[in-house]
Amino acid sequence: MSISAHRWLMTEVGQPMTKETFEVADPDAGDVVVEIAGCGVCHTDLGYLYDGVRTNHELPLALGHEISGVVVATGSGADSWAGKSVVISAVIPCGECDLCKRGKGTICRSQMMPGNDIQGGFASHITVPARGLSEVDLTRLAARGMKLADMSVVADAVTTPYQAVLQADVQPGSLAIVIGVGGVGGYAAQIAAAKGATVVAIDVDDAKLEMISDFGASVTFNARQISGRDLKKAIGAFAKDNGLPSTEWYIFECSGSAAGQQTAFGLLVHGATLSVVGFTMDKLEMRLSNLMAFHAKALGNWGCTPDHYPAAIDMVLNGDVQVLPFVEQHPLEDINSVFEAAHNHQLTRRAILTPGA
């Protein structure tokens, strides 16, 4: 096999990424080579490049963990994947350790994350274990007016909140509060609504709140206009007026900001479930005894195990989760300008970088 490929490498914090050409090696047993259709730009990628969040793989490193594409080469034991259109799991557990065998793949100590543990998806090709693949039905995809590149965001922006909603055990008739409805939070709102919850959306951007009103949110609040106890009272009044419970709220912190986390913790009620989905390096002070007093629980959520991907993909292909209104494609060659725009909050949709554009 001889495949000439290219990727964009992060060489140091805060510096533009540089293009590298390379020859793709024959995949090892159980591995595949995927020709990349698209790779989404995630908040985590910005953290690596601009905030100094450390990668497990030493630099230089191609970032990117939201990847879709077509399998173009297979190692032994992975032949059945040849030619298939796929989404690559953002976090790929080893599948062999005690943790994996006990269904705890999210904390597998040998897990593999593209753009963190191995070379990532801001490239033309990537080599990954076949156990991290999920197939995409192109006929169903086309029926929704979507391209394979659009499905790249399923690998994190959709599946991460999907697992968070499952883990929290959101019930029909419940109240779900999503804080930060751009990116991951926008999909969290849609998924919670699809599971039968009434969704409250909180953000600081009126445009995002207006948009999510058409995709799952029943009521919205701008945290710059109402916050703290007043916000909690307003949500309580909404719950009462709509026959929703005043206890056991499901709270999803998706903003990845200290302010969002503070807001989330302040919304605890008796029996609440707080799911921390967004990531920030910022620290904040809080009174953990509130968890005790409300008999509430707080859950972390790291990625999503591959076994949940088919169901999440189905939600997109069935139309329960809308992707197209929230994404936009850009040529991979524009990676540095796109990253800068994302870092400066100049993008209104999640950017997908496409090598073939």
Residue 217: the pLDDT is 98
Upper half-sphere CA count for residue 187 (Cβ side, 13 Å): 30
Confidence check: pLDDT of 347 > 80? yes
Token pair 């106890």 is at which residue? Answer: 229
pLDDT tens sequence across 79-126: 999 999 999 999 999 999 999 999 999 999 999 999 999 999 999 999
Beta bridge partners of 6: 21
pLDDT tens sequence across 301-315: 999 999 999 999 999
Give the angle 266-269-271 at the CA atoms, nearest 5°.
Answer: 135
How confident is residue 142, by pLDDT bands cut at 50, 70 and 90?
very high
Count CB-CB contacts under 10 A for residue 349: 15
Upper half-sphere CA count for residue 160 (Cβ side, 13 Å): 28
Residue 221 has phi, psi (to 5 degrees) of -140, 135
Confidence check: pLDDT of 172 > 80? yes
Classify domain 3-156+304-354 by CATH number. 3.90.180.10
Count CB-CB contacts under 10 A for residue 41: 26
Query: Domain 159-300 maps to which CATH number in 3.60.20.10, 1.10.10.10, 3.40.50.620, 3.40.50.720?
Result: 3.40.50.720
Residue 357: the pLDDT is 52
Confidence check: pLDDT of 1 > 70? no
Confidence check: pLDDT of 356 > 90? no
Integer Cα distance of 202 and 219 in angstroms: 9
Looking at residues 247-263, what average pLDDT do you find?
97
Token readout for 112 is 């593999």
Residue 281: the pLDDT is 86
Residue 2: the pLDDT is 79
Give the CA-trace dihedral at 198, 203, 208, 213, to 10 degrees. 20
Looking at residues 200-216, what average pLDDT do you find?
96
pLDDT tens sequence across 259-279: 999 999 999 999 999 999 999
Structural domain spans, the chain: 3-156+304-354, 159-300
